Amino acid sequence: MTIATGDDSAWPVGILFSQTGVTAIIEQSQLNGALLAIDEVNEAGGAMGRPIEPIILDPGSDPVRYRQMAERLIGDGQTNVIFGCYMSSSRKEVLPVVERYNGLLFYPTLYEGFEYSPNVIYGGAAPNQNSLPLATYLMDHFGSRFFFVGSDYIYPRESNRVMRNIVRQGGGEVVAEHYVDLEAGPEDFSEVIDKIAALEPDVIFSTVVGTGTVNFYRAYYGANTDASKRPIASLTTNEAEVAAMGAQVAEGHITAAPYFRSVAGERNHDFIERYRAKFGEVETITSCCEAAYFQVHLYANALRLAGAGNTDSLRAVLCGAEFEAPQGRIKIDPENNHAYLLSRIAKVDESGDFVIQREASRPIKPDPYLAVPALNDWAHTPAWVR
């Protein structure tokens, strides 16, 4: 089926980030990143003289609504391009829609891996870029007895399956794996806190997302725990969640991501200042925001290079595309549509800022199917700059 790509005065793109519901904290951050980049592209004259025109919808953190809205955007011919989705359950709903109509989903979120679609450009980290270095760091510094806690949906369950293998490969053990409802409130974590106290793991690996993250960390803090001795480590607790829970609650906990607001360098400094000028704050700048930001720029550059907006033309130039992002130079791997990304591990300090503890010296090639035996490869010959 041929898709109309709008009239000849603009490049319409669908924007599917939730401004309401359980993951609004982080998706608002992604929305801001995309909108900042769209402003930058348009202020620079657009692509081939045409501005990018965002069609912003709010799926309310409900995966089914993502599918319905994607169907409306792409199926009805409003656009062939969507920037969107945080939860993997949302991406899984949108996937058949973009595949059926040969559209393009730019997905700016870390996820569990084990997926490839010619209709998705993956901008977040795969497990070899974040779970693996995080596990190695935790075993080096805290010990090898892991307690898993996650929200009950596909990303936490699959991510834990991968993490369990990594921990076992490293000679560690998973003492418990516990799931809470996606909408879990503060009281829903008391059983988890009791279990942690009873089992005394060395470290907690959390795949809780959204408001559940805020509730979990607050419950943990409220139980007189010591994060410096037994931290919560996560891939889904970013600056926006830390701002929501408060610095006191977050201090000492650990996150792995390609980007933190605290990354050094002029490129990131400029990005932060432009974000501050547009949104009046910087607390919501996260790795997912940065990924949404650089994916819009990749799209604009692809339009300029391809000289056309149809999916096949865009895909041909997006594969192998590079961009000087706030995290450093990134590149789309033509083998799998995922991105070469930096790998960083950071700890929250008393002000609520992430202080980088470990950092790869170069972008890590994405390996979404973990084809390379993990701990036997680069984790034993790490290219860390600190």
Which are the contacts of 279, defined by CB distance < 8 A and separation ≥ 6?
Answer: 32, 36
DSSP string across 14-74: EEE--SSSTTHHHHHHHHHHHHHHHHHHHHTT-BTTB-EEEEEE--TT-HHHHHHHHIIII
CB 28 within 8 A of CB 240: yes
CB 162 within 8 A of CB 156: no
Of 107 and 142, the one with the shorter C-beta distance to ligand ACM is 107
Residue 170 C-beta: closest distance to ligand ACM, Å: 23
Of 32 and 234, the one with the shorter C-beta distance to ligand ACM is 234
Residue 248 C-beta: closest distance to ligand ACM, Å: 25
Residue 10 C-beta: closest distance to ligand ACM, Å: 30
Give the residue closest to ligand ACM by C-beta: 155
DSSP character at residue 378: T
Residue 68 C-beta: closest distance to ligand ACM, Å: 19
Of 137 and 155, the one with the shorter C-beta distance to ligand ACM is 155
Residue 40 C-beta: closest distance to ligand ACM, Å: 26
Of 87 and 379, the one with the shorter C-beta distance to ligand ACM is 87
Q: End-to-end distance of the chain based on CA atoms, in angstroms?
A: 51
CB 209 within 8 A of CB 181: no
Of 88 and 295, the one with the shorter C-beta distance to ligand ACM is 88
DSSP character at residue 128: T
Of 110 and 364, the one with the shorter C-beta distance to ligand ACM is 110
Of 155 and 294, the one with the shorter C-beta distance to ligand ACM is 155
Length of the chain counted residue by residue: 386
Nearest to 226 by CA among 251, 256, 247, 258: 251
Nearest to 126 by CA among 167, 152, 162, 96: 162
Residue 55 C-beta: closest distance to ligand ACM, Å: 23
Of 5 and 30, the one with the shorter C-beta distance to ligand ACM is 30
- Name the residues that contact ligand ACM, by CB under 6 A: 86-88, 109-111, 155, 209, 236
Residue 355 C-beta: closest distance to ligand ACM, Å: 23
Residue 171 C-beta: closest distance to ligand ACM, Å: 28
Based on DSSP, count helices (H) and strands (E) in the chain, helices before strands.
12, 15
- Paired tokens of 181: 């409802």
Q: Which residues of 10-25 are buried (b: 16+ CB within 10 A; e: fewer)?
A: bbbbbbbbbeebbbbb
